[in-house]
């Protein structure tokens, strides 16, 4: 009996880890897309998101400061990109409360990435669920 209990626990733990988060399809019916994004938002709550970032010249954006805002709400401190050019963001409920259904993350580089010393911007959102983003100088206002 003990063996079956241990086996059951093993499969339960592995099934929770193996849960894949599927992205929503962009459809003509915006209601269905919106409902899917709301369900996805619940699944992404407390999820650790890893995004690889490339600079405007298509090289990895490694070991540099990054400023992050989630659904137009800026995080209080800057982040630092890793040696592999990626950042990890835990999507805490306090960050996601500003998102209606679509989770939108704006990532801003250090100054000097674009002409005249300006910063570059990259965008991530829960509709496309990309695991890499590219900084662009054309997004500047």
Residues 21-60 pLDDT 10s = 788 888 777 889 999 999 999 999 999 999 999 999 999 9
Give 78's DSSP letter.
-
| Residue of 108, 102, 107 whose CA lies nearest to 128 | 102
Average pLDDT over residues 47-74: 93
Supply 75's token pair. Answer: 């995080």
3-state secondary structure of 34: helix
pLDDT digits (tens, 9 = 90+) for 40-51: 999 999 999 999
Q: Cα angle vertex 125, ends 15, 59, to 5°? A: 100
pTM of the prediction? 0.79
Is residue 15's pLDDT more than 50? Answer: no
Q: Report the distance separating Cα 87 and Cα 63, nearest Å.
A: 10
Strands (E), the chain: 48-54, 65-70, 73-74, 79-80, 86-90, 104-108, 121-125, 132-134
Q: Report the distance separating Cα 35 and Cα 64, nearest Å.
A: 37
Which pLDDT score, from 0 to 100, does residue 20 have?
Answer: 67
């Amino acid at each position: 009996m003990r063996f079956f209990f241990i086996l059951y626990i093993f499969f339960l733990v592995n099934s929770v880890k193996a849960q894949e988060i599927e992205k929503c399809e962009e459809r003509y019916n915006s209601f269905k897309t919106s409902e899917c994004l709301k369900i996805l938002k619940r699944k992404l709550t407390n999820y650790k998101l890893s995004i690889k970032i490339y600079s405007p010249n298509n090289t990895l954006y490694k070991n540099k400061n990054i400023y992050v805002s989630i659904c137009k709400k800026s995080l209080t401190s800057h982040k630092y990109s890793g040696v592999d050019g990626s950042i990890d963001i835990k999507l805490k409920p306090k960050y996601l409360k500003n998102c209606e259904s679509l989770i939108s993350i704006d990532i801003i580089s250090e100054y000097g990435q674009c002409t005249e010393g300006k910063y570059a911007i990259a965008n991530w959102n829960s509709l496309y669920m990309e695991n890499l983003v590219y900084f662009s100088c054309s997004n500047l206002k």
